[in-house]
Amino acid sequence: MNMVKNINRSVDEHVGSRARMRRMMLGMSQEKLGDALGLTFQQVQKYEKGMNRISASRLQHMSQILQVPVPFFFEGAPGATDGMPEPPSYVKDFLATSEGLALLKAFMRIENAKLRRVIVRLVEDCAEL
Q: What is the pLDDT of residue 6?
A: 60
* Span 32-83, pLDDT tens digits: 999 999 999 999 999 999 999 999 999 999 999 999 999 999 888 877 655 5
Binning pLDDT at 50, 70 and 90, where does residue 1 land?
Answer: very low
Residue 2 has pLDDT above 80, yes or no: no
Left (φ > 0), alpha (ψ -120 to 50) or beta: where does 28 sit? beta
Residue 116 has pLDDT above 70, yes or no: yes
* Span 85-105, pLDDT tens digits: 667 778 878 888 889 888 988
DSSP state at residue 51: S
Strands, DSSP E only, in 7-125? none
Q: Full-prediction pTM beyond 0.85?
A: no
The length of the chain in residues reads 129
* CA distances from residue 54 to 16, 78, 89, 125, 126 in whole angstroms, order as listed: 8, 16, 22, 42, 40
Give the separation between CA 114 and CA 90, rounded to whole angstroms. 26
Pick from 105, 108, 85, 86: nearest CA to 95: 105
DSSP state at residue 96: T
Q: What is the pLDDT of residue 128?
A: 87
Q: What is the pLDDT of residue 129?
A: 81
